[in-house]
Each structure stands twice: as structure tokens, then as C-alpha cells.
């Protein structure tokens, strides 16, 4: 089985959004996994880890799986027509269109989640609805050939779910065991519903500036999408 898998990589990507599922996908038999960006120069993640693209968008073959991770850098992508056009073109021929964390907002901005159920990081979850998707709170949400994962670490769950869809549960379970993926966190504070109120307030405060910028961007994108749909109806 030959399988072409491509991750969008971009400045200020959340590296674990990418590297978590990357570990799973590279273990799939016959998988070729690519990091795709506009150029081949190193890309600096939001935590300053350098990532090396392996293909440019222009030379990227048709992918079987396209995966868009999240991170602070997605704000710029929401209005980056070159990136959005690349995703639309790839999605048209891909077997699976996927996202991790706030990468779902980029898929939505590209018009790929309209009327579809999807999830993303809790701090941006409501913005899925602004961009035409149907927000659903879960670690992984599947709607047709579209798979989305929740925040950051949910990317591993997403990748294992997709590995089972592609290669069967036995193969996916073997990969999980190989990675010894058996989460047992020291604190029960991984979701807004389960953490202490003070913890949630601290997290919201840390992300307030990025959230405000993202809200404004989502509103602009949603307005353009609405105008485009109206023009299509009038035409």
C-alpha cells in the first residue's frame, strides 16, 4: 500500500500538533510523510523548534491525507489565499482531510468545513460556528472523509483513529503500543470542564491577545464567505 501524507507546516505552528500525529503516520506501512510549505527554508514553531519542510506547495503531489496542525501562526493563514487555495486543491482529490487543534479553523476558512461537524482547541471552539462548521466537543470528530482533532495532544488520538480507518484496528493498536501511548496525567486539568476555575482563568488570560485577534479575523473571513455565497446565488 502506497500512501502520500502531507502536513502543512508554517511559521508559529504548534509543533506537538504536528509531531504527535507524525509519529503515528510514519509507522503506517507504505506511508510517505511530507512537511509542506511555500518554501524549503526552516520554519520556526511557536516554541522556537525549527522544522524543515520537505516539499513546497508547488511541487507537492496529490496527497491521500492532508493534515493541518494549529498554533499561533494560523491567524495569518486565515486570510492567506495561497495557502487556502492549496488546501482546497488538495482536498478535492484527497482520501482524508484532517486537522489538529486550531488547524480546523484554517480548513473552515478554506471553505472545507461548511455544514460539517468538527472540533478544535477549547479556546477557539466557538469560532468553528462563525466559519460555517458545526462545533462538536470531542477528542476526535469524523464527518465523512473529514477528521478533526481537539487541542494539541488530541492529534495523537486523531492519527490513531485515522490509522485504524486506513490500515485496520490491529495495525493502529500495534502503533499505539509501539509508542507506549497510555496517558495517565498527574493532574485532572486537561479540559475547561474539569480544571479548577483559577486554572481556567489563568489560561484565558494568557491567550487573550491571540483570541481577540482570532475573533476579528474569523469575523472578516465569515463576512467574505457570506458575500461570496450571495454573489453565487445572484449569479
- Residue 12: give its domain's CATH number: 3.40.50.880
Considering its fold, how many domains does the chain have in total?
Answer: 1
User: Which one-letter DSSP state was computed for residue 122?
Assistant: G
Q: How confident is the model at residue 232 (pLDDT cuts 50, 70, 90)?
A: confident
Q: Which structural domain, as residue segments, surrounds residue 120?
A: 3-183+190-234
Burial environment of residue 187 by CB neighbours within 10 A (0 to 12, 13 to 18, 19 or more): exposed
Q: Write down the pLDDT at residue 228.
A: 84
Per-residue pLDDT reduced to its tens digit, 132-177: 999 999 999 999 999 999 999 999 999 999 999 999 999 999 999 9
Q: How confident is the model at residue 1 (pLDDT cuts 50, 70, 90)?
A: low
Per-residue pLDDT reduced to its tens digit, 190-223: 999 999 999 999 999 999 999 999 999 999 999 9
Q: How confident is the model at residue 25 (pLDDT cuts 50, 70, 90)?
A: very high
User: Which one-letter DSSP state was computed for residue 188?
Assistant: S
Query: Is 104 a residue whose pLDDT tops 90?
Result: yes
Q: How far apart are the first and last CA of the chain?
A: 44
Strands 140-143 and 146-149: antiparallel
Which position has the higher pLDDT, 216 or 227? 216
Q: Are 38 and 100 in contact (CB under 8 A)?
A: no
Which residue in the list 60, 67, 101, 195 is annotated as catalytic?
101
pTM: 0.96
Beta-bridge mates of residue 67: 7, 98
Beta-carbon count within 10 A of 30 CB: 10
**Residue 60 falls in the annotated catalytic set:** no
Per-residue pLDDT reduced to its tens digit, 49-83: 999 999 999 999 999 999 999 999 999 999 999 99
Amino acid at each position: 500500500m502506497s500512501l502520500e501524507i502531507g502536513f502543512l507546516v508554517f511559521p508559529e505552528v504548534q509543533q506537538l500538533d504536528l509531531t504527535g500525529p507524525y509519529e503515528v503516520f510514519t509507522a503506517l506501512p507504505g506511508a510517505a510523510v511530507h512537511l509542506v510549505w511555500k518554501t524549503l527554508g526552516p520554519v520556526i514553531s511557536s516554541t522556537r523548534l525549527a522544522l524543515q519542510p520537505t516539499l513546497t506547495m508547488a511541487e507537492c503531489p496529490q496527497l491521500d491525507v492532508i493534515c493541518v496542525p494549529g498554533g499561533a501562526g494560523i491567524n495569518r493563514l486565515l486570510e492567506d489565499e495561497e495557502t487556502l487555495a492549496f488546501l482546497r486543491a488538495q482536498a478535492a482529490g484527497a482520501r482524508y482531510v484532517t486537522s489538529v487543534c486550531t488547524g480546523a479553523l484554517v480548513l473552515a476558512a478554506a471553505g472545507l468545513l461548511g455544514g460539517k461537524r468538527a472540533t478544535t482547541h477549547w479556546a477557539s471552539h466557538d469560532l468553528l460556528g462563525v466559519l460555517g462548521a458545526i462545533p462538536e466537543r470531542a477528542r476526535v470528530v469524523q464527518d465523512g472523509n473529514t477528521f478533526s482533532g481537539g487541542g494539541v495532544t488530541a492529534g495523537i488520538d486523531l492519527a490513531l483513529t485515522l490509522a485504524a480507518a486506513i490500515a485496520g484496528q490491529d495495525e493502529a493498536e500495534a502503533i499505539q503500543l509501539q509508542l507506549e501511548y497510555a496517558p495517565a496525567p498527574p493532574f485532572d486539568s486537561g479540559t475547561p470542564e474539569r480544571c479548577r476555575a483559577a486554572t481556567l482563568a489563568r489560561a484565558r488570560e494568557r491567550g487573550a491577545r491571540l483570541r481577540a485577534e482570532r475573533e476579528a479575523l474569523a469575523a472578516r473571513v465569515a463576512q467574505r464567505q457570506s458575500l461570496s455565497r450571495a454573489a453565487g446565488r445572484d449569479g
